[in-house]
Amino acid sequence: MKFKNLELLNFRNYDNLKLNFDDHLNLIYGNNGEGKTNIVEALFLLAYTKSFRTNNDKNLIMFDQDNLRVKASVLNDKFLNNYMITINKEEKKVFINETNYKRLSDYISKINIVLFNRNDLNLIKESPNIRRKNINIDISGFNNTYLKQITIYNKIIKQRNSYLKLLYLNGNMSKDYLDILTNKLIDTGINIYNIRKDYINKINESINKYYNLITNDESSLTIKYTSEFSESKTKLMTKIKQSLSKELILNKTLYGIHHDDFVFYLNGKNIKEFGSEGQQKNAIISYKLAIINYLKNMNINPIFILDDMFSELDNEKINNILKLIDNDLQIFITTTEIDNINNNIKDNAKKIRIHNGTVEVD
Ligand SMILES: Nc1ncnc2c1ncn2[C@@H]1O[C@H](COP(=O)(O)OP(=O)(O)OP(=O)(O)O)[C@@H](O)[C@H]1O
Ligand SMILES: [Mg+2]
C-alpha cells in the first residue's frame, strides 16, 4: 500500500500544497515548527479520520479559515483509490472515489498506517485507559469489525449504567431489560476479548525478536493481556449477578473489557516500573515492527510513518530498524537532522524540505 500523492487545502499551516511521494522512502526534513509532522498528520487523518495529536478536528483547519480538505491517491495491489476528507466548523465528511461514506466506521481500516511518534510512549507510561485507547486505534487500523464492536460495547455500557440508575431509584421496576443488556454486554465483550487476545498473541510471536535485533541483546520482551472477560459466559453471568447490589448503588457496570490492560514486561519485570527511557522506546518500536510483521502475514502492506525519529532514537538503532523493513513498504520519516542520516538511506530517499508551510523537493 502506497500514498502516491497528497493534496492539502487549509490544513494546519498549508494553504495549498500538492506533493508526490516515493514508493519506498520519503524523508521529510526541516527545522522545528515548520510543518513536518503536519504532513504525516494529514496522512494519518486520511486513514483513521482522526488526528494522532488532537481530538478537536477544528484545530486542523488553518487559522482564520472555515474548512479544510485533504486528498490522496493510494495504490493497493495495483488498484488506485482516491481518498478525501473535508472538515468544516459543523461536520466532517469522508469520500472514497467521490462516494461519500456516511458512517466513518465503514471508511476506516482501508488505508493501513503504522505510526511511531513520541506519544506512543504513553502505551507504556500512562494509565490502562490510555493503553486501551491506543490498542483500540491500532486494531481498528486494519480491523473494521473490531471498531464496530467497540462502538456497540460503549453504547451498551451507557445504556446499562443509566438503567442501573433507574432501577436504583425505582426498586419495583422489572429487571428483564437489565438482563437483556447484561447478555449483550457479555456477548460483545467476549467478541472484543477474543480479538484483543488473538492480536496480542500474534504480536508476542515476533516482538521479542525485533527487540533483540534492535538492541543487539538477548532480553525477553512480551505484552501481557489481562481481562475480567477471560472466563466463560456462565461464570461471567454469575459474577455479574452477584455484584448487582453494588452496581445499583454505584450506577456502574463493574465487570467488562473496559477494565482490560496491556502491560509490557522486559525480562519478567513491568517495563513501566523498572525499565529505562531507552528500554521503553525500544519496546515501543519493537511493538510497531511486530504490528507490521503481523499485517504482512495477513497480506497487508502497511505504510510506516516514523515521526521525529532522531530525537527519539540514536542513529545506529534507526539503521537497524530500517534494515529490518522490507523494500516493498512505503516509509515516511520526519526529522530536523538530515545530516545524521546515513548516506545509503539518504541516497535512496525522496527528500522533501519543509520551510514554514512551503515545500522544496530535492
Ligand atoms: N490550525 C493551524 N493553522 C495554521 N498553522 C498551524 C495550525 N496548527 C498548527 N500550526 C502551525 O504548524 C506548525 C507546527 O507544525 P508541525 O508540528 O508540523 O512542526 P514540525 O516541523 O513537525 O516541528 P518539530 O520539528 O518541532 O516537530 C507551527 O508553526 C504551528 O503554528
Ligand atoms: Mg514534529
Q: CB pairs under 8 A, 24+ apart, for 211-214?
A: 211/282, 211/283, 211/286, 213/320, 213/324, 214/282, 214/285, 214/286, 214/289, 214/317, 214/320, 214/321, 214/324
| Interval 329-356 mean pLDDT | 88
Atom 2 (ligand 1): residue with closest C-alpha? 12
Task: Please report the atom of ligand 1 found closest to the CA of residue 354.
Answer: 21
Instruction: Give the Cα separation of 292 and 252 in Å (integer).
Output: 38
The pTM assigned to this predicted structure is 0.94
In order of start, what are the domains of the chain with their CATH numbers? 1-112+301-362 (3.40.50.300), 118-300 (1.20.1050.90)
The confidence band for 318, taking pLDDT boundaries of 50, 70 and 90, is confident
- Check residue 346 and give its pLDDT: 83
- Check residue 345 and give its pLDDT: 80
- Check residue 172 and give its pLDDT: 87
In the chain, how many H helices and how many E strands? 13, 16
Least confident among 74-88, 199-213, 289-303, 316-330? 316-330
Q: Is the pLDDT of residue 310 over 90?
A: no
Q: Which of 8, 12, 16, 56 to mutate to test the pocket of ligand 1 (most atoms within 8 A of CB)?
A: 12
Per-residue pLDDT tens digits for 31-68: 999 999 999 999 999 999 999 999 999 999 999 999 99
Q: Exposed (0-12), middle (13-18) or buried (19+): which is 54, by Cβ within 10 Å?
A: exposed
Q: Which of 6, 17, 34, 309 to mutate to test the pocket of ligand 1 (most atoms within 8 A of CB)?
A: 34
Main-chain dihedrals φ then ψ at residue 19, nearest 5 degrees: -135, 145
- Check residue 6 and give its pLDDT: 98
Task: Please report the atom of ligand 1 found closest to the CA of residue 35.
Answer: 18
Instruction: Give the Cα separation of 123 and 132 in Å (integer).
Output: 8
- Check residue 194 and give its pLDDT: 98
Task: Please report the atom of ligand 1 found closest to the CA of residue 63.
Answer: 3
| Interval 206-220 mean pLDDT | 94
> Which residues are close to ligand 2, an ion, with C-beta < 5 A?
37, 308
Per-residue pLDDT tens digits for 295-308: 999 999 999 999 98
The confidence band for 325, taking pLDDT boundaries of 50, 70 and 90, is confident
- Check residue 286 and give its pLDDT: 95
Q: What's the grid cell of residue 302?
A: 502497511
Average pLDDT, the chain: 94
- Compute the distance from residue 229 Cα to the ligand 2 centre, in Å: 39
Per-residue pLDDT tens digits for 142-178: 999 999 999 999 999 999 999 999 999 998 888 999 9
- Compute the distance from residue 259 Cα to the ligand 2 centre, in Å: 33
Ligand 1 shell residues, CB under 6 Å: 12-13, 30, 32-38, 59, 61-63, 308, 336
Residue identified by cell 504482512 is 296
The type of residue at 112 is: N
More confident residue, 242 or 118: 242
Q: Both ends of the chain: CA-CA distance in Å?
A: 24
Task: Please report the atom of ligand 1 found closest to the CA of residue 61.
Answer: 1
- Compute the distance from residue 9 Cα to the ligand 1 centre, in Å: 15
- Compute the distance from residue 88 Cα to the ligand 1 centre, in Å: 19
Q: Is the pLDDT of residue 79 over 90?
A: yes
Assign residue 326 a region (left: φ > 0; alpha: ψ between -120 and 50; beta: otherwise).
beta
- Compute the distance from residue 210 Cα to the ligand 2 centre, in Å: 25
Atom 17 (ligand 1): residue with closest C-alpha? 37
Q: Which of 11, 37, 57 to mutate to test the pocket of ligand 1 (most atoms within 8 A of CB)?
A: 37
The percent of residues above 70 in pLDDT, for the chain, comes to 100
- Compute the distance from residue 62 Cα to the ligand 1 centre, in Å: 10
Task: Please report the atom of ligand 1 found closest to the CA of residue 39.
Answer: 18
Angle 319-322-323 (CA atoms, 0-180°, nearest 5)?
A: 85
Atom 14 (ligand 1): residue with closest C-alpha? 33
Instruction: Give the Cα separation of 167 and 176 in Å (integer).
Output: 11
| Nearest ligand for residue 41 CA | 1
Atom 5 (ligand 1): residue with closest C-alpha? 13
The confidence band for 337, taking pLDDT boundaries of 50, 70 and 90, is confident
